[in-house]
Structure 1
Amino acid sequence: MFSSGLISVLSEKDQFEITAISNALKELLPELKTGSPDVLLVDILHCDNGGIQLLRKIMRAVPDLPVILLTSMQYSDCFTDHVKLGVKGFVFENETPEDLKEAIRKVLAGSNYLPKEMQKWLKEISPSGKQNSNVLRKKNTLTDREISILKLFCQGLTYKEIGERLFISPRTVETHKKNILTKLRLKSTAEMVKYAFHNRLII
């Protein structure tokens, strides 16, 4: 019933073409490889652990495929992990069909899409006032290489994968990460992701 509703919404006036629908990963992966879709919608409202394991397998199989999650604020503790994995859009269960279409259009155009409620949540957990100004200024203390590495960590890449991407050793990547955390006074990769969100480095 849920899938049928999505088909009805997205197929209206031939705005989008549904290439495949699947309720199981083993059915989905072959479809992704042969159907060459432009974007993938994943419903994590019915997944365990915020769909993290499912998304990891999908991203491994089709790393360049943009993913939009159908989710809700009850999964907010997973949002940073979703971003690190490379999710490009979030659509909440209480949003309208037009919001879903707008999310797809933005992601297809190369942008990210965040619901207003999620944007509000990000502002609430971010530092405010003078502290926030200091955080914004700190962005300018990062070198171009450090900003590149920060963005790659936000995509969920490992030290080895980042090193291969930038033609440097994993140990050098680790050193850069330590420098980033020290400069920004952060303690973890999750905090780096939040910093990148707040400073529009990955939006």
Structure 2
Amino acid sequence: MHKKHKVFIVEDHQLFREGLKSMLNSRGDIEIVGDAEDGLDAIRKIRQVKPEMVLLDLSIPKISGISVMKEIKRDLPEIKILALTIHESDQYVLEAFDAGVNGYCIKDASRKELMVAIDSVLQGKSYISPGISDQVIEGYLDSKKTLKEESDWDTVTQREREVLKLLAEGYSNKEIAGFLHISVKTVEKHRSNLISKLDLHNVAQLTTFAIQKGLVEAKIM
């Protein structure tokens, strides 16, 4: 009997997550060893179970998919990561590959395409959804630069982006400090840096900016 591939799923939408589980369990050669709805929980669980591959949504609560990638690739570089996302822009694609992702698949892909993406990554190959591959190639041939002028956003560090995401999700400085294992004073410093760098003056403006950047989803009233 062949050894099953151990796969972990990170996806905050329950219906999509359960659909992935059902689809992959039907293959017979994959074992779902865990799942998570947010980035912090994902990092903790992945470190425990050490799967062969992670299917990772980029837009998840608390800590972004990009941050999860960086943490996992730093601690467990052998784990393969396939991004499953709605984001097709070159900015997201290039950031993901710079963070160490092994494959990038758009969520509206067919079942057949998703299986090809999964098999490619499991075999140690890279995968990029056909609709965006030209953008990525062009970006890398152009010295991996982003295809936009440098802006204030480019000066924001990865940790500041994590703090911005959590602020936009409505967490207090104390809660953010607990999530990121830093002091409240450090959170306040990051918040001050964000306000200064982005020329924004309150949490409402920071939240609007975070939504525009795709860090959080706008809440439907």
Shorter-chain TM range is 0.5 to 0.7
Distance 1:35 1:53, change over 3 A: closer
Return the alpha-carbon distance in structure 2 between the equivalents of residues 3 and 108 of structure 1.
20
Q: Secondary structure at the match of 2:34?
A: coil
Q: Secondary structure at the match of 1:110?
A: coil
Return the alpha-carbon distance in structure 2 between the equivalents of residues 34 and 28 of structure 1.
10
Shift of 1:47: 5.7
Shift of 1:56: 2.0
Task: Trace 1:118-129 onto structure 2 (pairs within 5 A).
Answer: 118-122=132-136
Distance 1:48 1:96, change over 3 A: farther
Aligned residue among 86, 92, 96 for 1:72: 86
Return the alpha-carbon distance in structure 1 between the equivalents of residues 58 and 118 of structure 2.
17
Structure 2 residue 69 is matched with structure 1 residue 40: no
Return the alpha-carbon distance in structure 2 between the equivalents of residues 2 and 52 of structure 1.
20
Per-residue CA deviations over 1:129-171 (Å, capped at 9, x if unaligned) read xxx9xx9xxxxxxxxxxxxxxxxxxxxxxxxxxxxxxxxxxxx
> Where does residue 37 of structure 2 map in the other structure?
23
116-125 vs 20-29, greater mean Cα deviation: 116-125
Shift of 1:101: 1.6
Aligned residue among 61, 86, 100 for 2:100: 86
Q: Which has the higher contact order (CA 8 A, sep 6+)?
A: 1
Distance 1:48 1:28, change over 3 A: closer
69-78 vs 46-55, greater mean Cα deviation: 46-55
Return the alpha-carbon distance in structure 1 between the equivalents of residues 46 and 139 of structure 2.
36
Return the alpha-carbon distance in structure 2 between the equivalents of residues 113 and 74 of structure 1.
14
> Where does residue 106 of structure 1 map in the other structure?
120
Alignment: residue pair count: 129
Task: Trace 1:160-171 onto structure 2 (pairs within 5 A).
Answer: none
Shift of 1:123: 5.4
Distance 1:120 1:58, change over 3 A: same
Whether the 8 Å contact between 1:45 and 1:70 is mirrored in structure 2 is: no
Return the alpha-carbon distance in structure 2 between the equivalents of residues 82 and 104 of structure 1.
16
Per-residue CA deviations over 1:73-125 (Å, capped at 9, x if unaligned) read 44421222211111010110110122112111111111101111112334566
Return the alpha-carbon distance in structure 2 between the equivalents of residues 60 and 13 of structure 1.
30
> Where does residue 7 of structure 1 map in the other structure?
21
Give the TM-score normalised by structure 1: 0.54
Q: Secondary structure at the match of 1:103?
A: helix
Return the alpha-carbon distance in structure 2 between the equivalents of residues 102 and 2 of structure 1.
19
> Where does residue 52 of structure 1 map in the other structure?
66
Shift of 1:46: 4.0
What stretches of structure 1 of length at least 5 have no aligned partner? Answer: 136-203
Structure 1 or 2: more strand by fraction: 2
Shift of 1:44: 1.2
Structure 1 or 2: more helix by fraction: 1
Whether the 8 Å contact between 1:50 and 1:75 is mirrored in structure 2 is: no
CA RMSD of superposed structures (Å):
2.8
> Where does residue 180 of structure 1 map in the other structure?
none
Whether the 8 Å contact between 1:106 and 1:112 is mirrored in structure 2 is: yes
- Percent identical across equivalent pairs? 22
